[in-house]
Chain A
């Protein structure tokens, strides 16, 4: 009998018990779909992280201010509140003492209400230098960026993020108009191009959304807003003094990143009593992210593997029932000249048809991963807005990426599972004594 004939025969035998066969197929389908979907989501998450890290640049080192924990901050605390984080002196020290650094960009950031007439947003005021735009790959859609002249003249100018501009100026052209940040007014000179949010990476880098950003010159920030920030917290006010939120340093050569980061660490250590800063190296993060991705994939494959295993057991269960039911047929075929090998092949063909069908359908459902996630996202956004806004941006922005290898692997594994779990029932069928089998009722 040719393989095609055998497959056809297997299909027909399976059609004798449609529901039972369909359930076995479903088991494999779920397993294959699980492999493809989970891998696609894992790939999507890691792709986000990698994009973020690549945006930061493999040659850059990010030094951030970190608010120390309550206990250690008592030492630095005074009756004027606490003061922590990077200092302008740190910036100077880094620039002058670390020769491998080709460029360093300081930045100060604070949450402020941004207002234009009756339109207001909870904005993120970012005091920056002209270099900041290039370093963060922020492009200007209209108008201009912050300039050296703005810096020197302490100009009250602002560049709005695309979303912020759209919300503050739904109708009018924002260029040349004034917006109020906190208590001061600033003239809009430019609008940054739209940019998707960046995902958080591990614990060292928060997710970054660019749509509420308003950029003003760092010098203006210092002069108008200052280092001191009052925050109202549960009835008490707190005063925080922070000079710089972040310094981004760039080295010439990627090989110098690690050494440079070490120099910066030891330099800061000398001037800071508490660790109120963090040195983040995107290159290391990239490596970490790679390891994370590998671990994540192994975990996902484990889960998916378990579901395929369960599917395989389902197939075995059904085939064992089939073999018992068709004992008579096996006896007849043996009497009419079928060898043990041919009986094994016949039943293996049936399991392969089952598993292969499940595999193919699973791949088909696997391709629906993207649309399904979009559908779920839309449904959650539309019907459960609170749940939606509580979700971390990683999840909200998750774009699953179908990995071709996972599709091939899932299908191959499903057929493999069919063969492995089909062997035992098939051998059991073949090892029956034909005389006994013929007598079976």
Chain B
């Protein structure tokens, strides 16, 4: 069982080494990240917390290969992502990362199963077993009865389940969740967290940004950021 293994034994899947990111905002510069180093190991479930402007979104964007650091290294799956060009970054995202967003971000004109399928269409080379994999994942998140529905016909919780299935379809090394419960009521939030918890227990690595304490406490580890630096790292449970 994964969670019983000591942390030191687990393989590092993503590693940020001395990363800084500076934004220019209306004349003066903002240090969004200031020399941050952090490792993410296989099977981690990390909650990143911090007040607005603490750099948690910037960190998540960097982890998601949607942005490049100004300095420092980001090693994902053994490769330094910081120096890669746009096309390779796209491929890395498609291959190694899964995304879950606060506002679900499903494509409106596609059905449930087609939404789950989207990352597969950008795999080079293509992953085997496309459609069956999508159906299995839809079943996993409890939506096998709604495969043909459009996102607008689903509740918020159901849409987020579709997004989770979509984040799993490419068998990613890391799942990045940006306020996954931000648009949901308490009961549904807990359902979604149960699902993420189950995925983590099954060995998935999850990095989640949240500002809600009770949600963060569902993770194994909480990283608090302040002014672009890591303020504290606390273990919630092993």
Asked if residues B87 and A328 are in contact (CB atoms below 8 Å), the reply is no
From residue B97, how far is it (CB to closest CB) to chain A in Å?
A: 8
Most buried by A among B67, B122, B123: B122
- Chain A residues near B56 (CB, 8 Å)? none
Chain B positions 45-103 with a Cβ under 8 Å from a chain A Cβ = 61, 64, 66-67, 86-87, 90-91, 93-95, 99, 101
Given contacts A435-B61, A435-B66, contact A336 B86 (CB under 8 A): no
Chain B residues positioned under 8 Å from A438 (CB to CB):
66, 101, 105
Taking the closest CB of chain A, its distance from the CB of B65, in whole angstroms, is 9
Q: With both chains docked as a complex, state the minimum distance between the C-beta of A109 and any C-beta of chain B, in angstroms.
A: 74
Chain A: minimal CB distance from B101 (Å): 7
Query: Nearest chain-B residue to A328 (Cβ)?
Result: B105
> What is the bound-complex CA distance between A341 and B87, given in angstroms?
8
User: A336, B109: Cβ atoms under 8 Å?
Assistant: no
CB pair B118–A335 under 8 Å, yes or no, is: no
Chain B 102-127 residues near chain A, CB threshold 8 A = 105-109, 118-119, 121-123
A68 interface residue (CB < 8 Å to B)? no
Encode A298-339 as 1/0 by CB contact (under 8 A) with B. 000000000000000000000000000000110111111111
The reply to whether B105 and A337 form a contact with Cβ atoms under 8 Å apart is: no
Least Cβ–Cβ distance between A413 and chain B, in angstroms? 30
State how many angstroms separate the Cβ of A438 from the closest Cβ of chain B.
7
Q: Mark A202-216, 1 if CB is under 8 A from B, else 0.
A: 000000000000000
Residues of B within 8 A of A339 (CB): 86-87, 90-91, 122
Which A residues between 333 and 355 are near B, CB-CB below 8 angstroms?
Answer: 333-342
Is B107 touching A332 in the complex (CB atoms < 8 A)?
A: yes
* Cα separation A339 to B119 with both chains bound (whole Å): 12
In the assembled complex, B204 has its CB within 8 A of some CB on chain A: no
Known: A337-B123, A434-B66. A332 touches B90 (CB 8 A): no
CB distance from B70 to the nearest CB of A (A): 15
Bound together, the chains give a CA A441 to CA B108 distance in angstroms of 14
From A13, A332, A340, contact of B87 by CB (8 A): A340
What's the least CB distance linking A350 to chain B, in Å?
Answer: 12
Please give, as numbers and ranges, the residues of chain B lying within 8 Å of A336 by CB-CB distance. Answer: 93-94, 99, 118-119, 122, 166
At the interface, yes or no: A387 with Cβ under 8 Å from chain B?
no
For the complex, give the distance between the alpha carbons of A285 and B118 in Å. Answer: 65
If A335-B66, A337-B91, A337-B170 touch, does A342 touch B105 (CB 8 Å cutoff)? no
A272 within 8 A of B: no
Chain B: CB-nearest residue to A431: B86
Taking a contact as CB atoms under 8 Å apart, the answer to whether B90 and A340 are in contact is yes
In the complex, are the beta carbons of A333 and B118 less than 8 A apart?
Answer: yes
Shortest beta-carbon distance, A375 to chain B, in Å? 41
The interface residues of chain B lying within 8 Å CB-to-CB of A331 are 105
How far is it, in angstroms, between the C-alpha of A329 and the C-alpha of B61 when the chains are bound? 17
B109 touches A332 (CB 8 A): no
Residues of chain B within 8 A (CB-CB) of A332 are: 105-107, 118
Residues of chain B with a CB closer than 8 A to A334's CB? 66, 90, 93
CA distance A337 to B172 in the complex (A): 12
Task: List the A side residues contacting B107 at CB < 8 Å.
Answer: 329, 332-333
Asked if A337 contacts B87 (CB within 8 A), the reply is no
| A408 nearest CB across to chain B (Å) | 33
A16-B109, A332-B105, A438-B105 are known contacts. Are A337 and B66 too (CB-CB below 8 A)? Answer: no
Across the interface, do A335 and B93 meet the contact criterion of CB distance under 8 Å? yes
B66 to chain A, nearest CB (A): 5
**Which of B93, B109, B121 counts the most chain A CB atoms within 10 A?**
B121
For residue A18, CB closer than 8 A to chain B, the reply is no
Contact status A337-B109, CB under 8 Å: no
Complex Cα gap A224–B90 (Å): 98
CA distance A328 to B103 in the complex (A): 11
9 contacts across the A-B interface (CB closer than 8 A): A1-B121, A329-B108, A334-B90, A335-B99, A336-B93, A336-B119, A336-B122, A342-B122, A434-B66
> Which residues of A are at the interface with B, using a C-beta cutoff of 8 A?
1, 5, 12-13, 16, 328-329, 331-342, 434-435, 438
Residue numbers of B with Cβ under 8 A of A are 61, 64, 66-67, 86-87, 90-91, 93-95, 99, 101, 105-109, 118-119, 121-123, 166, 170
Apart from A336-B99, A336-B166, A337-B95, what are 16 other A-B pairs with CB-CB below 8 Å?
A: A1-B122, A331-B105, A332-B105, A332-B107, A333-B118, A333-B122, A334-B66, A334-B93, A335-B64, A335-B99, A336-B118, A337-B94, A337-B170, A338-B94, A338-B122, A438-B101
Closest 4 CB pairs of A and B: A337-B94, A337-B122, A339-B90, A1-B121
